[in-house]
């Protein structure tokens, strides 16, 4: 499952596998999550969410009051208060249920696997058979074609094709080999060919799949610092509203004594506000909406990463991604395609472009490198040159490229054509009696200064011109970096190229800065320098030499194809090993923060609107002046209170899809995002309750006891 740089959250279709079935509000998922929601009613679980714990206590208290003084109004309030608690738990249960569906797929990858453990790392002839759970860190195992890799580790000997579809969902096999940065293998994957020796790097029960299952199920999901801070704020608001509501009791008693002619009602008696109304008032005024959805938002954020084959080791990493202000991106494979391609034929004086193109194409017909193939294709597309038929080349003598000669070519029908590094080809021309002009050197220097790679083409005794190979920047990458800039994110390109080449690519791609001829120490120093200014830094890496920088980064994304050291150092692992995924990760993190902020704004605005529904309805009889605040013109205090309680419960269900899917993210500045939040979710949070409560009031006003 490779991901294009242009595919961002909200634009990319969901992956068509069995990890997540049905829509966000699939009735089957709701039904399967309902038992979990009911189990969460256990007070030992509920107390972790202070807002909803208060609602549960209020629901239990009103149940007792309804039993002692039964009425339709009382029992209606009881039912809807309990539904409010269940709906809140259902939001979290649905979010966790999506993770459990993904975990089921991952568990299918875990089998009762046996392993052939070597008696000694140096002796491949003696081994014993043990169960995979018995393997310890440092053990060496033999895995051959058709066998399951018993645990996470590094290939220390051999090379093999490995099927990782059980983990990544990608059907195409990958190559794993000893040495280099593609040595890491994952337990539960299958060797398709050859034979490898794997050194186990995991502890029993702590494999990659084990950790992934625990994370997607939510078992190891710790609350992030921002989430904890928001929980504290919600708890503080709840306490404030509790105190404010408690003061209404003596106010109500005084009001009734000062106006003895006003008849008692279900909402207001001579003894003050009735207990059921008091609890209803508390539940409607405290921030129940965001309190109910907060946990689901966090779980859904990690779920969105898993859907894109990214494993976050903690919720903190997801949240940190939303606050990242500097992105460090490798040039090759991330910003550029990674293969230099022919972009221009530059002939010397006296040679036509078509003549140069024919010679370059002929010398490249047997060149299977990406550069050689690009020369053949470019000559065909630009000049209409066809490839030669096999019969035409029957007598051709191909000259392969070697590190010693640094050139390749062909001898055909008395012609000798060579292409390669400038110094090597010009020496070959001199050795054959030719005299390269200064013009060739100027062309080579000009292409090199512009960030390109020059290949000189010559025919025995004379130079024909230069092929300009370009490191092609991916289509659309400049627009994506412009989006990053609008988000306030600084992009830095990291490359081993010389400064001239790096500058040319950086200007074409539109990055803010670049680090040329980068070493591991240079990367680490750059990250620390960025962090000194209070900025959060994200980067990708796959090699052992990237481990220090990944560990230092606030968001370190290790490639699944990389070494175990890199995966241990990072706080995220990209199962697709796609370096461009870092941009998506940042957008998912920002989407998480924006969703949380939007629903918090909506929830608090909701509470403001409910004041106008309940307070005027309760006290308008004793204070007629308050009737001016009864904007909705609700039928009675009873219908107003019940309508507000019903709306308070239903709005949670209505917002579950938004909490799970996330608010659509559009790259823009923080001030614009805040303005959009206030207009859309602040204003909407005030208007929606007015409409919703009024509609519910119209439906229930004719019920017995509502007048």
**For the chain, percent helix, then strand, then coil, each to nearest 5?**
50, 20, 30
Residues near 232 by Cβ (< 8 Å), separated by ≥ 6?
none
The whole-number average pLDDT for the span 148-165 is: 85
Res 6: pLDDT? 33
According to the annotation, is 152 in a ligand binding site?
no
Q: What is the pTM of this model?
A: 0.66
According to the annotation, is 76 in a ligand binding site?
no
Buried b (16+ CB within 10 A) or exposed e, 141-168: bbbeeebbbbbbbbbebbbbebbbbbbb
Res 549: pLDDT? 86
The whole-number average pLDDT for the span 154-158 is: 88
The whole-number average pLDDT for the span 482-492 is: 83
pLDDT tens digits, one per residue of 297-355: 877 777 788 778 787 776 677 878 888 888 888 777 677 776 678 888 989 888 888 88
Q: Which of 50-59, 110-119, 425-434, 516-525 has the highest mean pLDDT?
A: 50-59
Res 17: pLDDT? 37
The whole-number average pLDDT for the span 501-527 is: 85
Residue 268, pLDDT > 70, answer: no
The encoded tokens of residue 372 equal 């050689």
According to the annotation, is 523 in a ligand binding site?
no
Res 243: pLDDT? 85
Residue bearing the bigger pLDDT, 254 or 63: 63
Residue 13, pLDDT > 50, answer: no
Residue 119, pLDDT > 60, answer: yes
> How does residue 79 score in pLDDT terms, banded at 50, 70 and 90?
very high
Residue 459, pLDDT > 80, answer: yes
Res 500: pLDDT? 77
Res 705: pLDDT? 64
Res 623: pLDDT? 67
Res 78: pLDDT? 93
Residue 369, classed as helix, strand or coil, is coil
Residue 612, pLDDT > 80, answer: no
Architecture of domain 114-150+152-201: Distorted Sandwich (2.70)
Instruction: Enter the CATH code of domain 341-472.
Output: 3.40.1110.10
DSSP state at residue 519: -
Write the CA distances from 453 to 281, 344, 482, 519, integer angstroms: 73, 11, 27, 22
According to the annotation, is 591 in a ligand binding site?
no
The whole-number average pLDDT for the span 510-518 is: 87
According to the annotation, is 528 in a ligand binding site?
no
Listed as own residue / partner, the contacts of 142-145 with beta carbons closer than 8 Å and 24 or more positions apart are: 142/116, 142/118, 142/195, 142/196, 142/197, 143/116, 143/191, 143/195, 143/196, 143/197, 143/198, 144/191, 144/194, 144/195, 145/191, 145/192, 145/193, 145/194, 145/195
* List of E strands, 356-414: 397-399, 407-412
Range(s) within the chain of domains with CATH label 3.40.1110.10:
341-472
Range(s) within the chain of domains with CATH label 2.70.150.10:
114-150+152-201
According to the annotation, is 274 in a ligand binding site?
no
Write the CA distances from 262 to 192, 266, 620, 627, 628, integer angstroms: 85, 13, 11, 15, 19
Q: What are the beta bridge partners of residue 480? A: none
Given 303, 330, 471, 576, the catalytic residue: 330
End-to-end CA distance of the chain: 61
Residue 695, pLDDT > 80, answer: yes
Least Cα distance to 616 among 693, 684, 682 occurs for 693
CA 176, 181, 184, 189 torsion-angle sign: negative
Residue bearing the bigger pLDDT, 618 or 320: 320
Residue 231, pLDDT > 90, answer: no
Res 168: pLDDT? 60
Q: Which of 204-208, 295-299, 541-545 has the highest mean pLDDT?
A: 295-299
Range(s) within the chain of domains with CATH label 3.40.50.1000:
329-335+474-562
> How does residue 466 score in pLDDT terms, banded at 50, 70 and 90?
very high
Helices first, then strands: H and E counts in the chain: 24, 23
Residue 162, classed as helix, strand or coil, is strand
According to the annotation, is 323 in a ligand binding site?
no
Res 86: pLDDT? 92
> How does residue 90 score in pLDDT terms, banded at 50, 70 and 90?
confident
Residue with tokens 């490639």: 559
According to the annotation, is 401 in a ligand binding site?
yes
Res 56: pLDDT? 93
Res 22: pLDDT? 38
Residue 653, pLDDT > 80, answer: yes
> How does residue 15 score in pLDDT terms, banded at 50, 70 and 90?
very low
Residue 91, classed as helix, strand or coil, is helix
DSSP collapsed to 3 states, 185-253: ECCCCEECCCEEEEEECCCCCCCHHHHHHHHHCCCCCCCCHHHHHHHHHHHHHHHHHHHHHHCHHHHHH
CA 166, 172, 178, 184 torsion-angle sign: negative
Cα–Cα distance measured from residue 601 to residue 278, given in angstroms and rounded to the nearest whole number: 25
According to the annotation, is 408 in a ligand binding site?
yes
According to the annotation, is 367 in a ligand binding site?
yes
Neighbours of 347 (CB within 10 A): 19
Res 14: pLDDT? 36
Residue 696, classed as helix, strand or coil, is helix
According to the annotation, is 407 in a ligand binding site?
yes
Architecture of domain 329-335+474-562: 3-Layer(aba) Sandwich (3.40)
Res 277: pLDDT? 83
Residue 21, pLDDT > 50, answer: no
pLDDT tens digits, one per residue of 675-693: 888 888 888 888 898 889 8
Res 57: pLDDT? 93
Share of the chain above pLDDT 70, in %: 81
Least Cα distance to 328 among 570, 613, 649, 64 occurs for 570
> How does residue 214 score in pLDDT terms, banded at 50, 70 and 90?
low
Res 63: pLDDT? 94
According to the annotation, is 542 in a ligand binding site?
yes
Residue 53, pLDDT > 50, answer: yes
Average pLDDT, the chain: 79
Res 220: pLDDT? 46
528 close to 550: Cβ distance less than 8 angstroms: no
According to the annotation, is 403 in a ligand binding site?
yes
Res 23: pLDDT? 44
Residue 10, pLDDT > 50, answer: no
Is 697 one of the annotated active-site residues of the chain?
no
Res 489: pLDDT? 85
406 close to 420: Cβ distance less than 8 angstroms: yes
């Amino acid at each position: 499952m490779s991901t294009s740089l242009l595919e961002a959250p909200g634009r990319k279709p969901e992956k068509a596998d069995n990890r997540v079935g049905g829509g966000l509000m699939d009735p089957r998922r709701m039904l399967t999550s309902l038992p979990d929601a009911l189990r969460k009613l256990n007070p030992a679980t509920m107390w972790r969410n202070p807002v909803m714990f208060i609602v549960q206590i209020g629901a239990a208290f009103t149940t007792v009051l309804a039993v002692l003084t039964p009425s339709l109004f009382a029992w209606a309030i009881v039912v809807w208060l309990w539904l409010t608690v269940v709906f809140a738990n259902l939001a979290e249960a649905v979010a966790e249920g999506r993770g459990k569906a993904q975990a089921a797929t991952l568990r299918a990858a875990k089998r009762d696997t046996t392993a052939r453990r070597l008696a000694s790392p140096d002796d491949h002839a003696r081994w014993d058979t043990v169960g995979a759970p018995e393997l310890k860190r440092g053990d060496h195992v033999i895995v051959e074609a058709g066998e399951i890799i018993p645990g996470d580790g590094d290939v220390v000997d051999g090379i093999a094709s490995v099927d990782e579809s059980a983990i990544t969902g990608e059907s195409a096999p990958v190559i794993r080999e000893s040495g280099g940065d593609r040595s890491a293998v994952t337990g539960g994957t299958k060797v398709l060919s050859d034979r490898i020796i794997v050194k186990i790097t995991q502890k029993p029960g702590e494999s990659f799949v084990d950790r992934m299952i625990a994370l997607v199920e939510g078992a190891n999901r710790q609350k992030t610092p921002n989430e904890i801070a928001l929980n504290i704020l919600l708890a503080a608001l709840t306490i404030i509203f509790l105190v404010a509501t408690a003061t209404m009791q003596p106010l109500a008693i005084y009001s009734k004594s000062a106006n003895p002619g006003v008849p008692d009602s279900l909402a207001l008696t001579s003894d003050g506000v009735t207990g059921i109304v008091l609890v209803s008032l508390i539940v409607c005024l405290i921030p129940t909406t965001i309190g109910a959805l907060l946990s689901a938002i966090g779980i859904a954020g990690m779920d969105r990463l898993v859907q894109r084959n990214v494993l976050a080791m903690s919720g903190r990493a997801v949240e940190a991604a939303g606050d990242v202000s500097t992105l460090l991106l490798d040039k090759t494979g991330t910003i550029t395609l990674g293969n230099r391609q022919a972009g221009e034929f530059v002939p010397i004086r006296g040679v036509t472009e078509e003549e140069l193109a024919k010679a370059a194409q002929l010398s490249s017909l047997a060149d299977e490198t990406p550069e050689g193939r690009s020369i053949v294709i470019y000559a065909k597309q630009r000049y209409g040159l066809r490839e030669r038929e096999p019969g035409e080349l029957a007598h051709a003598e191909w000259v392969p490229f070697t590190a010693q000669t640094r050139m390749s070519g062909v001898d055909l029908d008395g012609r000798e054509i060579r292409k390669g590094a400038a110094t090597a080809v010009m020496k070959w021309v001199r050795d054959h009696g030719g005299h390269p002009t200064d013009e060739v050197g100027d062309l080579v220097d000009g292409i090199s200064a512009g960030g390109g790679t020059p290949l000189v083409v010559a025919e025995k005794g004379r130079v024909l011109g230069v092929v300009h190979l370009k490191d092609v920047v991916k289509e659309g990458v400049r627009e994506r970096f412009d989006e990053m800039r609008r988000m306030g994110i600084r992009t830095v390109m990291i490359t081993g190229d010389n400064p001239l080449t790096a500058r040319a690519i950086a200007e074409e791609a539109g990055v803010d800065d670049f680090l040329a001829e980068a070493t591991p120490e240079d990367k680490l120093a750059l990250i620390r320098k960025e962090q000194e200014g209070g900025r959060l830094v994200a980067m990708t890496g796959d090699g052992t030499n990237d481990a220090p920088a990944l560990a230092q980064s606030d968001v370190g994304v290790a490639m699944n194809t990389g070494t175990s050291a890199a995966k241990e150092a990072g706080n995220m692992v990209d199962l697709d090993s796609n370096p461009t995924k870092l941009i998506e990760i940042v957008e998912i993190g920002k989407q998480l923060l924006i969703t949380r902020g939007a629903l918090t704004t909506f929830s608090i605005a909701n509470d403001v609107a409910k004041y106008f529904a309940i307070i005027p309805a309760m006290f308008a009889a004793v204070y007629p002046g308050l009737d001016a605040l009864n904007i909705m013109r609700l039928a009675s205090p009873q219908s107003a209170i019940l309508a507000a309680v019903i709306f308070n419960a239903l709005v949670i269900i209505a917002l579950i899809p938004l909490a799970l899917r996330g608010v659509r993210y559009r790259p823009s500045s923080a001030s614009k995002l805040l303005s959009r939040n206030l207009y859309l979710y602040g204003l909407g949070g005030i208007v929606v309750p007015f409409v919703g409560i009024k509609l519910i009031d119209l439906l229930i006003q004719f019920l017995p006891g509502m007048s």
